[in-house]
Amino acid sequence: MPLHINTPLIESRPLSIAAHCTVNLKLDALQPCGSFKLRGVGHACEIHRANGAQRFISSSGGNAGLAVAYAGRKMGVPVVVVVPETTTERAKELLALEGAEVIVHGSSWQEANQLAQGLIKGSDAFIHPFDDPLLWTGHASLIDEVAASGQKPDAVVLSVGGGGLLCGVVEGLQRNGWHDVPVIAVETQGAASFHAATLVGKPVQLDQITSIATSLGAKRVCDQAVNYLASHSIHSELVSDQQALDACERFLFDHRILVEPACGAALAVVYKGAALKSFSNVLVVVCGGATASLEQIRLWAQKTANNP
């Protein structure tokens, strides 16, 4: 049995009314570790364990590391997670709760990742948070489950950070014969490495991440996400931090599920509705995020309001 669960697929009346189309939610916020990351991370960990890995090492500001920690605990494999200084206290608490060794290093994921790479020894397996074909194959199971339900969408809306979810969803669409289903890829302004890449047709390194949606905080999106622009219809959309935060609170009210701003970015596009006007049946990946509290979201909102 895989480590991830088959998550619910439900129609959202509040979002359907807001977007003027039928909106179905793939609730991956309900994965055991709180996000879709467990799909790909679990798959990668199982492959590496079968190949003899004795320890898992990860670099992550939250959700990917949490998925590795969960997988390691379930499989009886020690886990080390290197996180940047921007990581929330809640995220570090959750990692420790799963039994992982947590190392805090650097001001960005790139710096944390550099240290993590230096820790790798012969019997270790490095689990990348987003740039690994094993992850994409695992994430593609999300679309397999939707296809098994018989509900083909007109479009898929999702958030983009490093591009792992995007690559997995496109892989899933294509392997289920849904090449004609476009993807609406959403980022917050200040963490828009994929949008920058779409403008020039190749990955772009951002100078810095200024968005509070730190789970989207990859300065450079993975190459495969950009390569898919040539073989799949992908539309880039941007929202503000405030719009993502507002969507988190609205979604909590509408569906009693708390997600973090990275997920709120995709929900914000649906609540606005304008980008979906040509579609009648939309699938939204509620990717989740276990590392934010309602108090934290409101603190971010206050900070954003004071520094527009």
d(CA 179, CA 225): 15
Q: Do domains 9-36+134-306 and 38-129 have the same CATH topology?
A: yes
Q: How much is the average pLDDT of 191-208?
A: 92
**62 near 291, Cβ under 8 Å?**
yes
Lowest-confidence segment of 37-46, 84-93, 173-182 by average pLDDT: 84-93
Q: Which two tokens stand for residue 215?
A: 């789970």
Place of tokens 């920690």: 69
| Tokens found for residue 121 | 């020894």
Q: From CA 164, how far away is CA 170, in angstroms rounded?
A: 10
Q: What is the pLDDT of residue 280?
A: 97
Beta strands in 28-70 (DSSP E): 55-59
Contacts of 79 by beta carbon, 8 Å cutoff, 6+ apart: 55, 56, 57, 58, 68, 69, 71, 72, 73, 98, 99, 100, 101
DSSP-derived secondary structure for 169-184: HHHHHHHTT-TT--EE
pLDDT at 89: 86
Classify 38-129 by CATH class: alpha beta
pLDDT-derived band at 87 (thresholds 50, 70, 90) equals confident
Cα–Cα distance for residue pair 85/206, rounded to 1 Å = 19
pLDDT in tens, 218-261: 788 999 999 999 999 999 999 999 999 999 999 999 999 999 99
Instruction: Give the model's pLDDT for residue 133.
Output: 97
The predicted pLDDT at position 302 comes to 87
Question: Does the structure show a pLDDT above 70 at 50?
Answer: yes
User: Does the pLDDT of residue 217 top 80, yes or no?
Assistant: no
Q: Is the pLDDT of residue 115 over 70?
A: yes
Compute the mean pLDDT over every residue in the chain, rounded to the nearest whole number.
94
- Tell which residue, 31, 28, 37, has the closest CA to residue 62: 37
Q: What is the CA radius of gyration of the chain?
A: 18
CATH of domain 9-36+134-306: 3.40.50.1100
> What single-letter amino acid sits at 215?
S
CB 80 within 8 A of CB 68: no
- Convert the pLDDT of each residue in 124-182 to its tens digit: 999 999 999 999 999 999 999 999 999 999 999 999 999 999 999 999 999 999 999 99
Higher pLDDT, 105 or 211: 105
Residue 116: is its pLDDT beyond 80? yes
Q: Which helix H or strand E contains 104, and what residues bound it?
A: strand 101-104
Per-residue pLDDT band at 308 (split at 50, 70, 90)? low
Sheet-wide strand order for 124-127: 101-104, 79-83, 55-59, 124-127
What are the beta bridge partners of residue 81? 58, 102
Query: Is the pLDDT assigned to residue 216 strictly greater than 70?
Result: no
Mean of pLDDT values over 42-47 = 98
pLDDT of residue 127: 96
> What is the rounded CA–CA span in Å between residue 76 and residue 54?
9
Q: Domain spans of the chain?
A: 9-36+134-306, 38-129
Q: Which residue has the tokens 């593609």?
A: 140
Which residues have C-beta within 8 Å of that of residue 73, sequence separation ≥ 6? Answer: 79, 98, 99, 100
